[in-house]
Amino acid sequence: MPPVSSQGRNIWTKRIDRAAELAQRNPWAKEVLEFYSRILQFQKELPEGSRSGAAPPEKAALRRSLDLDESARSFAGLIVMITKHGPPKLAEEAGRFHGSSSTQVRGLLEQWLEMAHPPDEGSSFFARVLLQPQAERLAQASGFAPDPVAGNKCPYCQSDPQLAVIRPEGDGGKRLLLCSLCQSEWEFRRILCPACGEQHHEKLPRYSAEGISTVRVEACEVCRSYLKSVDMTVDGLAVPVVDEIATAPLDLWAAEQGFRKIQLNLMGF
């Protein structure tokens, strides 16, 4: 199998280290972050896939370039890990897929890729764990420069955004969206709902919680959707995909207020 690049390993190590740091700092997130660390370690060790070269610079081409057979071969190892270390509900879900053939797993992955919001959230978890690392490598290797004024779908793979990232720019910060599949970032206007396009500032409230300074809820009163943003101008050491998962209380609060998340994260909230 092709070796994993040192740069690729560094990305996963950085995420694993951040999860350990936040687990120590935030007792309420310790359990979910310890399990997420196991997922990250599993993803770090996945093979790159025999077709993980540069994806064509066309919308959704990245999805067609994924090596589903390679991902299917890693499925059994994922089931073993989840059965041993996963929370009871997920371990039970893993048992449902125990013994699935490579053909069956490939069909599951194909079905997930074809559906923007699959009804079976259990299979969605397994598909994302297996496909995200390969999709991320493809996006990084593509050499594709997305439109600086991209829309609300990932310009690399047309997936929904998982969260927003505020990165330093001049005396302030610019807003980017982070893809729920290939983890790519693309610039997006600060005052604009990624779900419905609402532009009025007063209808796009932002909520924060005491003790959580880096992550906040960005909501829309029109379509009642939200996503969380990770502000790198507040904490330059934040790792967006990890910090977002470490702040589940914000998701619980948003759900209680009647908001619906644009895209659930890998842990299902």
**What integer pLDDT is reported at residue 67 of this predicted model?**
94
**Do 13 and 124 fall into the same domain?**
yes
**Mean per-residue pLDDT pooled into runs of 10, the chain (269 residues):** 48 97 94 97 86 56 90 95 93 90 92 69 86 93 71 91 96 94 94 97 96 96 98 97 96 97 93
**Do 167 and 133 fall into the same domain?**
no
Q: Is the residue at 119 inside a domain? A: yes
Q: Is the residue at 149 inside a domain? A: no
**What integer pLDDT is reported at residue 61 of this predicted model?**
78
**Do 171 and 87 fall into the same domain?**
no
Q: Is the residue at 155 inside a domain? A: no
CA quadruple 120, 250, 230, 15: dihedral, nearest 10: -60
Domain extent, residue 254, equals: 161-261
Nearest to 179 by CA among 155, 143, 196, 144: 155
**Do 102 and 172 fall into the same domain?**
no
Specify the residue for token string 């502000």.
Answer: 231
Degrees (nearest 5) of the Cα angle 82, 83, 88?
90
Q: b or e along 208-236 (b: 16 or more beta carbons within 10 Å of the residue's beta carbon)?
A: eeeebebbbbbbbeebebbbbbbbbeeee
**What integer pLDDT is reported at residue 1 of this predicted model?**
34
Give the Cα separation of 238 and 184 in Å (integer): 16
**Do 213 and 126 fall into the same domain?**
no
Which SS3 state, helix, strand or coil, does residue 42 take? helix
**Do 127 and 188 fall into the same domain?**
no
**Do 132 and 223 fall into the same domain?**
no
**Do 187 and 223 fall into the same domain?**
yes
**What integer pLDDT is reported at residue 142 of this predicted model?**
81
**What integer pLDDT is reported at residue 2 of this predicted model?**
37
Number of domains in the chain: 2
Question: At which of 112, 141, 170 does a domain end?
Answer: 141
